[in-house]
């Protein structure tokens, strides 16, 4: 179940960033999920919520995600979304976007002291 590992890694990344910045709370984590990452973002969101339930630092925290479409390029100059066969030359294009899972933003609260 790779989704649990991804959810935990997002939680741990946000927790580490919050502690390093003396946060009193984590409000929102934004993440990108590539279409080719083979991860179900809805399951990650559910598991992330379960991980946050017992952590006071994450009270009310939400995980927002964006699906990143596949983008490919080929040595012949083709750029598009064909994943397996370049429509111009028949070669295998290189996937340059759409495989990543990336935390893009973490919103935290801090005391103004």
Known binding-site residue numbers for Ni(2+): 2
Q: In terms of DSSP bridges, do strands 62-68 and 23-34 run parallel, antiparallel, or are they unpaired?
A: parallel
Distance CA 90, CA 79 (A): 13
Task: Please enumerate, by residue number, every residue annotated as part of a binding site for Zn(2+).
Answer: 74, 76, 86, 89
Instruction: Pick out the residues of the known binding site.
Output: 2, 74, 76, 86, 89
Burial class (CB in 10 A: 0-12, 13-18, 19+), 107: middle
């Amino acid at each position: 179940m790779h989704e649990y590992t991804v959810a935990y890694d997002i939680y741990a990344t946000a927790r580490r960033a919050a502690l390093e910045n003396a946060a009193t709370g984590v409000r929102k984590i934004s993440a990108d999920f590539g279409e080719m990452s083979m991860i179900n973002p809805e399951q990650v969101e559910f598991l992330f919520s379960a991980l946050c339930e017992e952590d006071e630092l994450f009270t009310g925290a939400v995980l927002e995600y964006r699906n990143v479409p596949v983008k490919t390029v080929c040595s012949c100059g083709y750029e598009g979304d064909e994943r397996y066969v370049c429509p111009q030359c028949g070669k295998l294009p290189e996937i340059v976007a759409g495989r990543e899972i990336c935390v893009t933003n973490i919103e935290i609260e801090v005391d103004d002291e």
